[in-house]
């Protein structure tokens, strides 16, 4: 994982940073989001983001970049992005639960009601909800459509 603020960090270090960030304002409300975006080159570059937003006061985020064999089909790519987000959200949820941090996690999907990806949103949203997370799509899916998008180019 990488952070613009903390540089390269392990998963364990990311958890420590998140705990420290929350402990500095425990009375605040937090949104924890996981989102993934990808771009095609001669391979598919995926960027998964974990964002912690202290409502009204900014936040911190971490990202991980992977390169995989090119995924040309848009539906397959969106399902792949979602699977990456879900894997991290499940791991993060279990870890935060052990740490007594219970803010809930939302999955941000880089898809909206307009455009080519609109037909697949009900399936992806259903999958995410079946896994116990909330789903955000454009324009509210900032972890995927803003942060991850920036690092996927």
Per-residue confidence (pLDDT) for residue 58, from 0 to 100: 95
Point out the residues of the chain with pLDDT beneath 50: none
% residues pLDDT > 90 (the chain): 93
pTM of the model: 0.95
Q: What is residue 109's predicted lDDT score, i.e. its pLDDT?
A: 97
Q: CA nearest 106: which of 1, 6, 30?
A: 30
From the list 143, 13, 28, 22, the residue with the least C-alpha distance to 82 is: 143
3-state secondary structure of 6: coil
Determine how β-strand 59-68 pairs with β-strand 105-109: unpaired
Give the integer Cα–Cα distance in Å for 109 and 100.
Answer: 27
Helices (H), the chain: 11-23, 74-98, 121-130, 142, 149-152
With residue 108 as reference, give the H or E element that holds it.
strand 105-109
- Residues constituting the chain: 153
Dist CA 40 CA 48 (whole Å): 15
């Amino acid at each position: 994982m990488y952070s613009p603020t903390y540089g390269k960090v392990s998963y364990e270090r990311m958890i420590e940073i998140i705990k420290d960030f929350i402990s500095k304002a425990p009375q605040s409300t937090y949104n924890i989001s996981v989102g993934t975006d990808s771009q095609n080159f001669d391979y598919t570059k995926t960027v998964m983001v974990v964002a912690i937003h202290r409502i009204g006061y900014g936040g911190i985020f971490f990202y991980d970049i992977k390169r995989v064999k090119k995924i040309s089909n848009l539906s397959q790519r969106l399902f792949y992005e979602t699977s990456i987000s879900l894997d991290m959200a499940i791991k993060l949820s279990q870890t935060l639960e052990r740490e007594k941090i219970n803010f809930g996690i939302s999955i941000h999907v880089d898809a909206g009601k307009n455009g080519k990806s609109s037909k697949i949103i009900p399936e992806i949203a259903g999958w995410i909800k079946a896994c116990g997370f909330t789903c955000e799509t454009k324009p509210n899916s900032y972890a995927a459509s803003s942060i991850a998008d920036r690092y996927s180019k």
